[in-house]
Structure 1
Amino acid sequence: MKKILIYVVPILFICLTGCSDKWEAHFGNNDANSQLNLFEIISSSSDYSSFADLLEKSGYAESLKASKNYTVLIPTNEAINAAQTQYNFNDTAVVRSFVGYHIINSIYSVNDNTDTIKAQNFRNKYVEFTRGSFDGIQPKSKNLTASNGLYHVIGQSLQPLNNIYSLVKLEFAGTKQVQAIESFDTAYIENDQTYYKTSPVWVSDVRRNMTTENRKYTYFVIDDAAFDAEFNKLYPYFKTNYEEGNTHRPDSTTTFFAKKFLLRDFIVEGDLLETELSQELTSISGTKFKIPSGSVISRHKASNGVVYRVHSIDVELVNQIKEKIVFGVNPIGYKQTDKRGNTYFRDKRDTIGNLYKDIEIHGHNVTAFYVKYRATAMNVNRYKVYGRAIMGLPGDPQTAVFTQYVHFLNPALVAPNEVDLYKKSVVNHLGSTDTRFTFGVNVLNHNEVYLGEVTQNQYGNLPLLVMSNGTGPIILEYLRFVPIIQ
């Protein structure tokens, strides 16, 4: 079952001086308090005295005196008394977090008939207004007006939730999976200088999704034995030449890449119910996997989704080591830079009607002219390589069959000329050992052409050239690298 999240722009009513349009006219409330601001309402009522005291301690009181419009969820005195057993209100940071969770930017009314509206509070978290409730809490009174906003009275305080990142570190700190997460955020000191292992790639690929508040995710924490098995399965495919424990490039070791890649596979977009876990899931990295029947141990709600503690996940290597594509329109360099007038980046439609983009270099008059590309994040593995290049469509200056070549960088070679470095051994389309692929381009051929096999010996980039035959043309839509998993 899918949850439908409807994002509604908060309603903001603006009146000029002397405008007779009152808040109560919009929300049907004729409370005399509507002439008071939110701070005055909270501080003047004995029913809210406990929250008023916390409001003063939090430093947010001045905000509720201002003319900007807010929505406040006011816990009753009984609700605050109950909350004191869970929170240390002698700690200013705790008070500020607690109070800020109940104050929402802009105006949000509550409606029993609407689906979920996510309202951002002062703590940059989101309170869900769902069919008349706030994070599942039903109000005692609702849609009450003040001169600078709305307030709702609740008999149970909202419970600030940790995001997924904080929750798993708190609840499952002893697991190997969380220890792996924490290893990306540690620091070490060398020669009186502090170095951080945290990598921007780790943050963008994994941690940001665990901490982002305006979207929902489902996260899985697995048993130690299962985590070790998954890590050991992936480790050979991320082999680098950097030694483990390297203090200056900790983000370049085999362990770093294998852990980072594996940890992406535990995050799924959406706030999934337990009944939805029986279907095939797709992680944020595009990996398909399943949760084995009976694997769920517990469920934990987070501010940005849900965390499931499970025994294991069922994921096949063929779904983890993925194909790579290099697009012709994304070159990183050329043999020489004075042929821009002969280089065309084209948006075309093939004879079947499909749109595509490619590069064509024509009439350059340079023998063995080449374009440089880079296949990125290539695993240690053998790949079958396919290419697509379409020529002979209306307006194309090239109408005759031609040949071009694909060369790969051999990092072991040393040569004065750049082109001589690109002689990596490959297996060509005929099954023979060679130092290049022959890429024949036929008129109006929309199919991929099988070029051969290339082996990546360490995790990372695979630089390559697409080279003309003599002074002939170059046309390329893409090269596709398909991993051979055995």
Structure 2
Amino acid sequence: MMKTKTIQYFIWLCLACALVSCKDKWADHLGDGDAFDQKTLYDVVTSDANFSAFTELLEQSGYAEALKASKNYTLIIPNNAAIATAKMQYDFADSAVVRSFVGYHLINSIYNVHEGTDTVRALNFRNKYVEFTRGELDGIVPISQNLIASNGLYHVVNQALEPLQNIFTLVNSQFSETAQVEAINSFDTLYTEDDLIYFKSSPVWIAEVRRNMTMENKKFTYFVVDDENFDSEYAKLQPFFATPYEEGNTHRPDSTTTFFTKKALLRDFIVEGALDESDLIGELQSISGTRFHLDPANIISSHKASNGIVYRVKRIEYALADQIKEIKVVGTQPIGYKQNDKRGNIFFRDKRDVNGLPYTDIQIYDHKVTAFYAKYRVAGMNVVKYKVYGRAIMGLAGDPQTATFTQYVHFFDRTLTSVNEPDLYKKPVINSEGNNDTRMAYEVQPLNHEEVYLGEITQDQFGNQLLLVMSNGTGPIILEYLRFVPIVQ
């Protein structure tokens, strides 16, 4: 019995030592806080006269209960002097302003201030990020830091954090009268039908442009240019985005020439990452892949946003050859076939070429169907002439096809009518020999790893172009990709 009690005492002693050790290590990790204070973050704020002004705002905000909870938070506390200054900037008679202001200083989870660390972005209650960077909080040096409460950490500042606007809100508040921002707002369409007001905002516009201006978990650099520059760039691009849809069409505002031209241009004013002025020297690349240069002499002003930085500049000039981009159609992504009962003859292959480089392709073999085809869609073709190139590799070890064969590329012609689908795919082209034709012949030779020039096709309106890759008789089809290179001056 004595032996059992001795063992139990020893176990309890070890557990107690472990708890003390963990407590010390946590305090050491967090910084210069005292021993664990049993006060909650709410108690810390409300019991200190230096924080009385913030306490009043906290109670008004509705966030007070959160600071009483057991979940761990980080609280940045502006002292009374900081709140006095903030009252000259914000209307705290507005409950929404109070909630936004207080929520900006409240962070989920624990974040300590450390002078030696790189930037850590902490998400606050307003779904914005506070940056902890080498001893600073959004550029503010706390007067006290890493202080411990029972449910988290708190840092004291004598300057309140400034709730920053995202890029979309910032450009609307500061540059709303520019042609560029007017173009941005034109995508949110209000129209009336049967005495009802409808709101329409294209998901394509949101995904490709607006989301990059509003998302908080990434940073971007945004440029706002003079009206003359915006208008001239728009006029330059417009012919390449011509569509047959009538302007002012309330049901399809996202299918007009204006829509596509503006969307394409507005993508080119956004660069991923928050760039300092020193980073603007040299080649830049927009989120759409357009390369450009900015003359530093054209910078008028800079404005910090919650998700990056906005530069007001006089002008940015883009080369048309960079804006009208090549398009690649991947062989492993067909949208259909001549018939759907040949899945056993269709192979999506992962291979390596003779140089050991990996590639993927489609092979359709032994299908026994005359003029079998795979159908593809070329997305977003501009109104321009394209040179067409293809890459198809065969004859490697294990390939069933080892002899030269020919396959054909046919393009959909919207002017034709027929009940036989292949008869719709006879759009005029220039073949590889420079002659007028209704298809491009693609001769695939053994172990040829180079692209093959197939010919030229002219796109007469902006949008998608359907095509068929068709077998010669019952022969095979092999395709890694087709590449469409625009011919622009």
Q: Which TM-score band applies after superposition, normalised by the shorter structure?
A: over 0.9
2:140 corresponds to which letter in structure 1?
I
> How far apart in 2 are the matches of 1:98 and 1:333?
54
Q: Which residue of 2 aligns with 1:339?
A: 342
Q: Which residue of 1 aligns with 2:120?
A: 117
> How far apart in 1 are the matches of 2:174 and 2:442?
55
Q: Which residue of 2 aligns with 1:177?
A: 180
- Answering whether residue 113 of structure 2 is matched by residue 105 of structure 1, we say no
Q: Which residue of 1 aligns with 2:195?
A: 192
The range that moved more, 185-194 or 451-460, is: 185-194
How far off is 1:170 after superposition? 0.4
The match for 1:271 among 267, 270, 274 is 274
Q: Which residue of 2 aligns with 1:359?
A: 362
- Answering whether residue 231 of structure 2 is matched by residue 228 of structure 1, we say yes
Q: Which residue of 1 aligns with 2:411?
A: 408
Q: Secondary structure at the match of 1:62?
A: helix
> How far apart in 1 are the matches of 2:447 and 2:236?
43
How far off is 1:189 after superposition? 1.6
How far off is 1:185 after superposition? 1.6
Describe how 1:366-381 pairs up with structure 2 within 5 A: 366-381=369-384
* CA deviation map 1:264-289 (0-9, x unaligned): 00000111111221211000000001
- Answering whether residue 134 of structure 2 is matched by residue 136 of structure 1, we say no
Q: Which residue of 2 aligns with 1:298?
A: 301
The match for 1:240 among 243, 249, 253 is 243
The match for 1:40 among 35, 38, 43 is 43
- Answering whether residue 319 of structure 2 is matched by residue 319 of structure 1, we say no
The range that moved more, 180-189 or 243-252, is: 180-189
> How far apart in 1 are the matches of 2:379 and 2:196?
32
> How far apart in 2 are the matches of 1:352 and 1:366?
34
How far off is 1:477 after superposition? 0.6
How far off is 1:192 after superposition? 2.2
Q: Percent identity of the aligned residues?
A: 64
- Say if 1:33 and 1:41, in contact at 8 Å, map to a contact too: no
> How far apart in 1 are the matches of 2:296 and 2:81?
43
Q: Which residue of 2 aligns with 1:386?
A: 389
- Greater share of residues in helix: 2
- Say if 2:32 and 2:145, in contact at 8 Å, map to a contact too: no
4+ residue stretches of structure 1 with deviation over 6 A?
Answer: none
Q: Which residue of 2 aligns with 1:92?
A: 95
Change (3 A) 1:77 1:418: same
How far off is 1:168 after superposition? 0.3
- Say if 2:253 and 2:259, in contact at 8 Å, map to a contact too: yes
1:35 corresponds to which letter in structure 2?
Q
Q: Which residue of 1 aligns with 2:469?
A: 466
- Say if 2:27 and 2:35, in contact at 8 Å, map to a contact too: no
Q: Secondary structure at the match of 1:262?
A: helix
Give ranges in structure 1 of 5+ residues lacking alignment: 1-14
How far off is 1:128 after superposition? 0.6
Q: Secondary structure at the match of 1:139?
A: coil
- Answering whether residue 252 of structure 2 is matched by residue 249 of structure 1, we say yes
2:439 corresponds to which letter in structure 1?
R
How far off is 1:28 after superposition? 5.1
- Say if 1:292 and 1:314, in contact at 8 Å, map to a contact too: no
The match for 2:54 among 51, 55, 72 is 51
- Say if 1:71 and 1:149, in contact at 8 Å, map to a contact too: yes
Describe how 1:448-459 pairs up with structure 2 within 5 A: 448-459=451-462
- Say if 2:180 and 2:224, in contact at 8 Å, map to a contact too: yes
The match for 1:433 among 433, 436, 445 is 436
How far off is 1:216 after superposition? 1.0
Aligned CA-pair RMSD: 1.4
- Say if 1:244 and 1:254, in contact at 8 Å, map to a contact too: yes
How far off is 1:441 after superposition? 0.5
Q: Which residue of 1 aligns with 2:204?
A: 201
Q: Which residue of 1 aligns with 2:72?
A: 69
2:62 corresponds to which letter in structure 1?
G
* Aligned residue pairs, count: 471
> How far apart in 1 are the matches of 2:453 and 2:199?
45
* CA deviation map 1:185-240 (0-9, x unaligned): 23222212333331000010001111111111100000000000011111011111
Give ranges in structure 2 of 5+ residues lacking alignment: 1-14
- Say if 1:343 and 1:362, in contact at 8 Å, map to a contact too: yes
1:347 corresponds to which letter in structure 2?
D
- Answering whether residue 153 of structure 2 is matched by residue 150 of structure 1, we say yes
How far off is 1:29 after superposition? 4.5
- Say if 1:409 and 1:462, in contact at 8 Å, map to a contact too: yes
Change (3 A) 1:435 1:62: same
* CA deviation map 1:278-306 (0-9, x unaligned): 21100000000111241000000000110
> How far apart in 1 are the matches of 2:360 and 2:117?
44
> How far apart in 1 are the matches of 2:338 and 2:216?
47
Q: Which residue of 2 aligns with 1:6?
A: none
2:59 corresponds to which letter in structure 1?
E
Q: Which residue of 2 aligns with 1:60?
A: 63
> How far apart in 2 are the matches of 1:64 and 1:348?
58
> How far apart in 2 are the matches of 1:421 and 1:314?
41
Q: Which residue of 2 aligns with 1:8?
A: none
1:430 corresponds to which letter in structure 2?
E
Q: Which residue of 1 aligns with 2:310?
A: 307
Larger radius of gyration between Structure 1 and Structure 2? 2
How far off is 1:32 after superposition? 7.0
> How far apart in 2 are the matches of 1:307 and 1:30?
38
2:256 corresponds to which letter in structure 1?
T
Q: Secondary structure at the match of 1:34?
A: coil
- Answering whether residue 446 of structure 2 is matched by residue 443 of structure 1, we say yes
Q: Which residue of 1 aligns with 2:11?
A: none
How far off is 1:27 after superposition? 3.3
TM-score under structure 2 normalisation? 0.94
Q: Secondary structure at the match of 1:341?
A: helix
The range that moved more, 411-420 or 110-119, is: 110-119
Q: Which residue of 2 aligns with 1:10?
A: none
Q: Secondary structure at the match of 1:196?
A: strand
Q: Which residue of 2 aligns with 1:161?
A: 164
- Say if 1:24 and 1:34, in contact at 8 Å, map to a contact too: no
* CA deviation map 1:308-331 (0-9, x unaligned): 000011210000000000111000
2:208 corresponds to which letter in structure 1?
D
Change (3 A) 1:310 1:415: same
* CA deviation map 1:241-283 (0-9, x unaligned): 1000001000000000000110000000111111221211000
